Structures are given as C-alpha cells and as structure tokens.
C-alpha cells in the first residue's frame, strides 16, 4: 500500500529542538522497543489501545519538506496475546480484548469521565508487566464554528498517485479558551470514504464459503496463476474505509489564555476521491505531561545545529516495566475529554481535482484488476466488506446522501 498514512511512526521518535532549518535524517531502528499508542476518552463508540514492537530491520527517513519520519519496510510489528486492562481511580479495572493483532478494545459500554484518573496495565506473553502513570481526564471547551477550504497543494509526499502534493480540504475552527487556567489541546480526525473494492488476491482467487457465522469470503492460492498475478474484487454492498489522522496538531494557551481562537487550521483531510465523505473532527483536552511529550515529538524535525548533529532517537513515555525501570518503552498513554464536530464534506469546491470512486487508485496508484469470467468460473463473486478498525459495512453516524 502506497498511501503513507499507514506507515507513519512519528510518535516514537524525537530529537533536539530549537529554531533554524529542518534537516534530513536516515537511520536504522537497531533495537526492538515496545510501542504504546493509547488514549481513553469520553466519546461514544469503541476505544482501542495499540501495542507493538519496533522492527529492528526497518530504516527510518525524513526530509526537509516534512515533520514526519517515514519508514521503509514495516515500522512496527503487532504485540499479540497481551493481557491488557485500564485502571480507573486506582480501584476499578476494565479488561480489553484483542480485536486485531496488537489492537486491544475496551468494553463497548466504556466511556471515560472528566475528573477521573486512568492507568494502562498490561502483561506480555513472555511474563513482563508494564504500568503507565495515572492520567486525569481534563475538560475541553466546545467547537464554536468549523469550515473547510480546498487546498490544491495540501499535503506533501503523501500519495504516489498525486506526486509532490496531495490536495486537501483544510479545516479551520473557532473556540473560546477558558480564562484563569492553563489549557492544552490536540486535534485529530477520522474520515469515512466510500470504497468499491473489498478484496485483493495475490496469486489467488476470491471464494465465498459457508462458515460458522454464515457466509464468509477469502482469497485462496492458485498456483496456475503467475506469482505476480493480482485480482481485485468489487464490494458486495456499501462499504466505507476509515482513515485516521497521524499528524500531531497541538496547542497551548500559554500566550493566549482566555482569548477566543478564530480561523485556526487544525486538520488537512486528503482528497482521496470526489465522493462526499464524513469527517469527525475531535478537539481533545491534554494533560500537561501528554502535551510536553507530544511537543517534543512535534519538534523532532527541527535541530539547532548542522547535518552532523545527532539524529533523532527514541524517548521514554509514561509507561514503565514494573520490574526493570531502565527498559525504554516508547509512546504515551493518556486520557482526553473530546468535543466532537461531525460534518459531511461534499467536495463541491475541489475544482475537478479528483473523480468519483477514485479511492482504490489513490491508495494503490493503479486501477483495480478484475478477474474475468471463464468457462470454469462463469460467476465471479463479489467480496464481503469485513468490519475492522479501518473498514465498516455500517452507515457512519450522521452520514447524509444529499446536502
């Protein structure tokens, strides 16, 4: 997959920060580190904690054009079979289930509450135990207004299909910062895009079959096909791919305490196709510790010296091995109250920069390759839209078909 949102690992790397020019880095991971990526919120809906390990064989690179360090090869490998729980106020605990390899889901009924404290605890299958510091969920002010502006040169180096720049819908908002208190913010987004292709088979074909819970479908190897043969299969029904922001967009009111923030750029939604899409913009509260951690990472592309200076290196988050305080654990676990702003982007302002149902091509930089009917296979099956953290067959909340 060429769509680079999927290989972003900025949250695990940082370096010396100051002013002056961004510079390029190129270094290997060398060691294997545990990576924690998790936040509990007071939003409705499923909540996930991701546990993984860095891949020692990966190579990490950045350029002068971006604050992001990209990885050649798999940046992380999922940490499976961990026993994970979230502890509330040092008393009540919630067990998480492994939803996907390395992705652990809280009970569907779970919702965080402002004022309560949360800790992450997990035990690996090799017997090691880890615990985060306690993070108190702080309140967040609501979004007053939000709007989008089309940007033909929105996001550099994102998609091979677009080349140098991927167009974007840039989202701006207004909010009132509370006076007489320090506030820290983070903005994230979730994007739902209609997908028309639900399965890709490499040197194989897609088949439907009866399973324990009804009809299922999957790719099966076919050695009569060339090793580089690819077939892509149309979705049987409506299907949405789900994308998540990866950039770190944060703000402190240290110089603007109590002031109204107007026309603040908080998100760039990539133009993946001209179809209408749903965006959930989340304005999150941050604890001071979480803000400091994210600020270090945001600054990792800026160095006060020359190209010969030490490149970015992993930093410790707030999760520790309870029996070995010297073990470096990367990432941060925290709690955030969320003010959500959901909107449809109708994409009537994109100046013909994309076409309908272009999502597959934007991601893979090619058109779908359909299996043709044959005498031995006169019926080509359509593929099931399988629900996971990046895809759903269910209509997104607040989705509209017409303006």
Q: Report how far residue 344's alpha carbon sits from residue 400's, in angstroms, rounded to the nearest whole number.
A: 7
Give the per-residue pLDDT at 244: 94
Residue 343 lies in a domain: yes
pLDDT of 22 over the 90 cut: no
Residue at 400 is within a domain: no
Tokens describing residue 258 = 């109590």
Query: How much is the average pLDDT of 108-115?
Result: 96
Please state the rounded mean pLDDT for residues 7-12: 36
Helix, strand, coil abundance in the chain, percent, nearest 5: 5, 45, 50
Among candidates 91, 141, 96, which has minimal Cα distance to 116?
Answer: 91
Contact 73, 55 (CB under 8 A): yes
- 54-63, 96-105, 154-163: which is most confident: 96-105
In contact, 71 and 52? CB cutoff 8 Å: no
**Mean pLDDT of all residues in the chain?**
86
Distance CA 318, CA 320 (A): 7
Question: Mean pLDDT, to the nearest integer, of 236-245?
Answer: 96
Question: pLDDT by residue (tens digit) across 169-226?
Answer: 999 999 999 998 899 999 999 999 999 999 999 999 999 999 998 999 999 999 999 9
Q: Which residue has the higher pLDDT, 299 or 118?
A: 118
Structure confidence at residue 313 (pLDDT): 61
Backbone angles phi, psi at 29, to 5 degrees: -75, -35
pLDDT given at position 350: 93
Exposed / middle / buried, residue 96 (Cβ in 10 Å: 0-12, 13-18, 19+): buried
The count of domains in the chain is 1
Q: Which residue has the tokens 């013909």?
A: 352
Three-class SS state of 270: strand
List the domain range (segments joined by +) for residue 352.
4-196+235-365
Q: Give dist(CA 230, CA 121) in Å, integer.
A: 42
> Which one, of 48, 161, 13, lies nearest residue 390 by Cα?
48
How far apart are alpha carbons 51 and 377 in whole angstroms? 42
**Chain centre to alpha carbon of residue 402:** 28
Is residue 228 domain-resident?
no
Model confidence pLDDT, tens digit, residues 326-335: 999 988 999 9
5/242 Cα distance (integer angstroms) = 12
Determine, yes or no, domain membership for 298: yes
For the stretch 30-77, pLDDT in tens is 678 899 999 999 999 899 999 999 887 765 554 443 444 444 456 788
Confidence category of residue 312, pLDDT binned at 50, 70, 90: low
How much is the pLDDT for 23? 38
- DSSP per-residue letters across 272-326: --SS-EEEEEEEEE--HHHHHHHHHHHGGGB-SS-TTSPPPB----SEEETTBTT
pLDDT of residue 165: 94
CA distance 224 to 331: 46
Residue 159 in contact with residue 166, Cβ under 8 Å?
yes
- pLDDT tier for residue 270 given thresholds of 50, 70 and 90: very high
Q: Is residue 202 part of a domain?
A: no
Residue 386 lies in a domain: no
What's the average model confidence in pLDDT over 264-293?
A: 96
Task: Tell me which residue of 394, 397, 392 sits closest to 343, measured CA to CA.
Answer: 397
pLDDT at position 54, please? Answer: 84
């Amino acid at each position: 997959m060429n769509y680079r949102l999927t290989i972003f690992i900025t949250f695990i790397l940082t370096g010396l920060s100051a002013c002056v020019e961004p510079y390029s880095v190129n270094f290997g991971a060398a060691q294997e580190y545990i990576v924690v990526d998790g936040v509990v919120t007071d939003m409705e809906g499923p909540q996930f904690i991701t546990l993984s390990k860095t891949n020692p064989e990966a190579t990490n690179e950045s350029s002068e054009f971006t604050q992001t360090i990209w990885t050649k090869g798999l940046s992380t490998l999922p940490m499976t079979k961990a026993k994970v729980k979230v502890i509330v106020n040092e008393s009540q605990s919630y067990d998480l289930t492994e939803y996907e390899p390395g992705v652990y889901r809280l009970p569907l009924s779970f919702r965080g509450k402002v004022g309560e404290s949360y800790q992450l605890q997990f035990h690996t299958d090799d017997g090691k135990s880890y615990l985060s510091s306690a993070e108190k969920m702080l309140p967040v002010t609501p979004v007053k207004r939000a709007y989008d502006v089309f940007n033909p040169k929105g996001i550099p180096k994102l998609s091979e299909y677009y080349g140098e720049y991927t167009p974007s819908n840039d989202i701006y908002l207004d909010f009132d910062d509370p006076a007489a208190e320090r506030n820290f913010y983070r903005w994230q987004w979730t994007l739902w895009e209609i997908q028309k292709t639900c399965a890709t088979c490499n040197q194989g074909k897609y088949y439907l079959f009866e399973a324990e819970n009804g009809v299922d479908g999957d790719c099966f190897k076919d050695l009569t096909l060339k090793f580089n043969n690819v077939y892509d299969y149309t979705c049987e029904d409506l299907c949405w791919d789900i994308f998540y922001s990866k950039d770190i967009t944060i703000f402190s009111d240290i110089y603007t305490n109590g002031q109204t923030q107007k026309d603040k750029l908080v998100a760039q939604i990539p133009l993946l196709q001209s179809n209408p899409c749903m965006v959930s913009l989340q304005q999150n509260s941050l604890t001071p510790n979480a803000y400091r951690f994210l600020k270090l990472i945001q600054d990792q592309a800026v160095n006060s010296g020359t190209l010969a200076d030490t490149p970015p290196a992993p930093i410790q988050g707030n999760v520790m091995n309870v029996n070995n305080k010297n073990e470096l654990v990367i990432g941060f676990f925290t709690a955030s109250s969320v003010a959500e702003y959901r909107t449809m982007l109708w994409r009537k302002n994109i100046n013909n920069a994309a076409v309908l149902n272009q999502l597959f091509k934007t991601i893979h930089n090619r058109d779908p390759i359909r299996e043709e009917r044959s005498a031995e296979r006169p019926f080509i099956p359509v593929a099931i839209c399988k629900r996971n953290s990046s895809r759903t067959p269910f209509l997104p909340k607040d989705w509209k078909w017409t303006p």
